[in-house]
Amino acid sequence: MLEGGNVRQIFELKGQGRSIREISRTLGISKNTVKKYLRCPGVPKAQPRPSRSSLLDPFKEHLRMRLAEGVLNCNVLLREMRTLGYRGGKTILKDYLKPFRPPRQPKATLRFETRPGECAQVDFGLFRYQTREGHTRLIWAFVMVLSWSRAIYVELIRRADVGSFMDFSLRVGSDITLCRPRRAQTKGRVERAIKYIRDNFWSTARFTDLDDLNRKALEWVASVADVRLHGTRASARLTVLPRRGPCLGPCRPQKA
């Protein structure tokens, strides 16, 4: 598009009786451009550029469906789309999801560190699911995070009561320090793990019974969570010992 001064000169020269060839030679622009401006008394508007195709385009319907279900975790969506044939990168997916994410408000928290094997944080998360018959059921996730390595262990159970937990603590010889209610900072490592499990594992979990669900949970720990250990503890790994004595919940689903 020509600047306003050049457009004015075209009309001034034309008013002086100059030919299109002379105007073109004088101003150093093509004859077709001179003709275009002389045919249109107004200033031509730039035409909008056609939108470029994106590698996300074939998968946007899937993304809209998952966003409507409340799934916003980029890693989960990327893993799903890879199975559907997506060959793009993570950056364009994050850019696409950014408008749908609520703004984050960072909060300052005092950190504390422990020695290897000194401390583990434990919490229970309540999860809901629907049966094939459409009934809503509840299940608890027992989550333990080693404070030094951030290695994680997950087991889904039907019951989460104090008696089972106290029995477990006495058998393994651990001391229990209770956290203040509604004070997430006192168990920040495992608190974040509950949200991580909810967003990254539970949102895509499909299972037939409790045993099947726990197999998938351990597979997820080994293939996803364990390879995402905290950067400062990258060499640490969690070894899950064989269960001895009573567990924190039934190993098989109970009848309703």
User: C-alpha distances in angstroms, 136 versus 3, 139, 189?
Assistant: 67, 10, 29
Domain-wise residue ranges, the chain: 4-39, 57-100, 120-233
Nearest to 129 by CA among 71, 207, 66: 207
Q: Locate all alpha helices (DSSP H) within the chain, ordered by sequence.
A: 4-15, 20-27, 31-39, 60-68, 74-83, 90-97, 162-172, 188-200, 210-220
The DSSP output letter for 194 is: H
CATH classification for the domain delimited by 120-233, as one of 3.30.420, 1.10.150, 3.30.2320, 3.30.70: 3.30.420
How high is the pLDDT of residue 102? Answer: 76
Decide if 188 contacts 195 (C-beta within 8 A). Answer: no
Instruction: Please name the amino acid found at residue 117.
Output: G
Q: Locate all alpha helices (DSSP H) within 173-209, ordered by sequence.
A: 188-200
Decide if 140 contacts 156 (C-beta within 8 A). Answer: yes
How high is the pLDDT of residue 237? Answer: 42
How high is the pLDDT of residue 9? Answer: 81
How high is the pLDDT of residue 230? Answer: 47
Q: Phi and psi of 143, rounded to 5°?
A: -125, 130
**Cα–Cα distance between 14 and 39 in angstroms, integer?**
12
Three-point CA angle 231, 240, 193, nearest 5°: 45
What is the mean pLDDT of each successive set of 10 residues along the chain, which is 256 residues long? 67 83 86 80 59 84 90 92 92 90 68 73 87 88 84 88 74 69 58 85 89 93 75 43 36 34
How high is the pLDDT of residue 181? Answer: 61
**Cα–Cα distance between 12 and 9 in angstroms, integer?**
5
